[in-house]
Amino acid sequence: MAAKGKIEPRKLKGFWELMPNEQALFSDLLEKLEKVFKQNCFVPLDTPILEYSDVLLAKSGGDVDKEIYRFTKGDTDMCMRYDLTVPLARFVSMHQNELNFPFKRYQIGKVYRGERPQKGRFREFYQCDADIIGDGELSLVADAECVSLFEKCFKELELEVRIEVSNRKILSGYIEELNKSNKATEIFIILDKLDKIPLEDAKAELAELGLSNAEQEKIINLTKNTGKIEEIVKKLRNFCKNPTFQKGLDEFEELAQHLAAFDVKCVVGNLGIIRGHNYYTGTVFEGFLKDGKEAVGAGGRFENLCGYFSEKNMPGVGMSVGITRLFSILTQNGYFKENATDADVSIITFDDTLHAGLNLMTKLRDCGVRADCLYEAKTFKAKMKEANRRNAKYVLIVGEDEVRENLYTLKDMQTSQQEKLKFEDLVKKFTKNA
């Protein structure tokens, strides 16, 4: 409880805040992902957290609308972005005459959803997105490239991932065959939560939309098709002759061929992958850690998203790593073997050597060494404890003898071994280990 007259410090539930050591580990993950994006020729982009409501809500629908933070300031009706894809569509539509297509961009930023906070799920979280936008048309090679990029992100993190892929046209075609196209969005929402609600509840909801018992069974069984993409396609060729259904199978088969060319090995077909946003129109996928059941990222194709902002047809496909959720899972599972460190070396000085220590710290920093001088007036023992708390790899002792001889005592905090080194050798040691 806060003292009388003071405000109790607290934060909103579901909003993320890390301790410095955790933040350093998280930032390292972001740097690795950004490296992958750049290596694969995606360019950076940043968009505002706030968007006009009519822009952000142009094509959301379903449960997403209920989760959006929306408010007004004066006469302005605005929302906090719930993902990075709709702002991308707005940006591309505004700057279409200035961009090179296919436009390949990545963006790492926070998004906001007013859902119930729970383990691994937050109201404020980061997304790491990469998207490819076409001008008029976009080859299915782009779909495969995004799936491949997703796999590469996890390879960079030295994690094995399983990517489950589907094509929404397959289910859309069957819904057309049932003459329920006007209920497609509601049907997709129900199918998307089959693993979250009792089967009988799902059937009851489908019945309310006018599906017979037989139709309910068939569409639910359709979502249970998993395995090699080629085998799923072969199995379903005669299931339904609807043109959209068949086109979905054609695209699914073509995607498998492109994925083989990209040498993607961790993909499995799963028609139960729906994705909640109704702007997905073709390829959809979700990524899971090898033995995990909780998605740590996803993506898909959106043919018509920019159509809400532009007369020009600009199809796109993208992927997103749910880095906040992933970090939470990795932390719980002991992924991080070492604590992040504030400095490569903590410099310990005495009263008469403080300025010499500060000068040494400055020179080391100029050489690219992460050096920090513990300049508070504390005892040697207290400073050693401080270096331990900071997870310093080394301690550099700067006494009068060291200053006079330009020979400094370096202690390895892991092994407790000590050696005396000149400034030049210190630089070589730390730059070699960098």
* pLDDT attached to residue 114: 87
* pLDDT attached to residue 61: 54
Q: Are the beta carbons of 301 and 282 closer than 8 angstroms?
A: yes
Q: Are the beta carbons of 313 and 101 closer than 8 angstroms?
A: no
Give 361's contacts (C-beta < 8 A, 6+ positions apart).
Answer: 347, 371, 372, 373
Q: Are the beta carbons of 244 and 159 closer than 8 angstroms?
A: no
- Give per-residue pLDDT as tens, 248-281: 999 999 999 999 999 999 999 999 999 866 678 9
Give 209's contacts (C-beta < 8 A, 6+ positions apart).
Answer: 180, 183, 186, 187, 190
Q: What is the DSSP string of 271-290?
A: TT---S-TT--SEEEEEEET
Tell me, yes or no, whether 165 and 139 share the same domain.
Answer: no
- State the CATH number of the domain containing residue 365: 3.40.50.800
Q: Evaluate whether residue 355 is within a structural domain.
A: yes
Q: Evaluate whether residue 265 is within a structural domain.
A: yes
Q: Evaluate whether residue 156 is within a structural domain.
A: no
- The parent domain of residue 361 ranges over 345-433
Beta strands in 86-207 (DSSP E): 103-112, 124-133, 161-167
Tell me, yes or no, whether 372 and 411 share the same domain.
Answer: yes
Instruction: Name the domain boundary from 221, 255, 289.
Output: 289
Q: Evaluate whether residue 224 is within a structural domain.
A: yes
Tell me, yes or no, whether 204 and 312 share the same domain.
Answer: no
Tell me, yes or no, whether 314 and 383 share the same domain.
Answer: no
Instruction: Name the domain boundary from 313, 340, 367.
Output: 340
For residue 166, which phi and psi values (nearest 5 degrees)? Answer: -145, -175
- State the CATH number of the domain containing residue 279: 3.30.930.10
Q: Are the beta carbons of 376 and 391 closer than 8 angstroms?
A: no
- Give per-residue pLDDT as tens, 65-91: 778 999 999 999 999 998 898 899 899
Tell me, yes or no, whether 256 and 175 share the same domain.
Answer: yes
Which band of pLDDT confidence, cut at 50, 70 and 90, is reported for residue 60? low
Q: Are the beta carbons of 270 and 166 closer than 8 angstroms?
A: yes
Candidates 49, 55, 37, 126; CA nearest to 92 is 55
Q: Evaluate whether residue 54 is within a structural domain.
A: yes
Which band of pLDDT confidence, cut at 50, 70 and 90, is reported for residue 59? low
Return left, alpha or beta for 227; rule: phi > 0 is left, psi -120 to 50 is alpha, else beta: left
Give pTM, 2 decimals.
Answer: 0.85
Tokens coding 92: 């591309």
Tokens coding 285: 């996928």
Q: At what angle do helices 199-208 and 213-222 cross, to 10 degrees?
A: 120
Instruction: Name the domain boundary from 272, 289, 306.
Output: 289
Structural domain total, the chain:
3
Tell me, yes or no, whether 136 and 32 share the same domain.
Answer: yes
Q: Evaluate whether residue 252 is within a structural domain.
A: yes
- CA dist list (Å): 198 to 190, 193, 204, 209, 238: 11, 9, 10, 17, 30
1 pLDDT exceeds 80? Answer: no
Tell me, yes or no, whether 48 and 135 share the same domain.
Answer: yes
